[in-house]
Structures are given as C-alpha cells and as structure tokens.
Amino acid sequence: MKQMTLRLMILLGMIAFGITLAIIVGQRLTTEAMAVLMGVVAGVTASIPQV
C-alpha cells in the first residue's frame, strides 16, 4: 500500500512538472512558433494508425 502511494505521488509530481513546463514554454513562444508546434502535433497525431 505504501509503495502504491509513493508511485502516485511521483506520478502526480511528474504531471505537475509537465504542465508547468508547458505553460512556461507556451508563454515564451511567438504566435508563429506556436502554430508550427501545433502543426507538428497534429501531423504526428494524424500519422498514428487507427486500430
């Protein structure tokens, strides 16, 4: 039980770190850079084969 709680805490910490990093990077990007990044994400998502 204690190990499960530790895993949950680590997972929540990693999620919080990722969200914080995304917010900081998102605020510093220009509009054009954000558009390119969204295009890359959309392209990668579209290239994943559907099951």
Q: Give per-residue pLDDT as tens, 11-23.
A: 999 999 999 998 9
Residue 2 has pLDDT above 80, yes or no: no
pLDDT bucket at 4, cuts 50 / 70 / 90 = confident
Give the percent of the chain with pLDDT over 90.
Answer: 65
What tokens does 11 get? 């997972």
Contact 49, 41 (CB under 8 A): no
**pTM (global) more than 0.75:** no
Contact 16, 24 (CB under 8 A): no
Q: 10 Å Cβ neighbour count for 40?
A: 10
- Domain ranges within the chain, ordered by starting residue: 2-47
- What's 30-42 look like in SS3? CHHHHHHHHHHHH
Q: What is the pLDDT of residues 18-37, one digit of tens each?
A: 999 989 988 998 999 989 98
Contact 37, 29 (CB under 8 A): yes
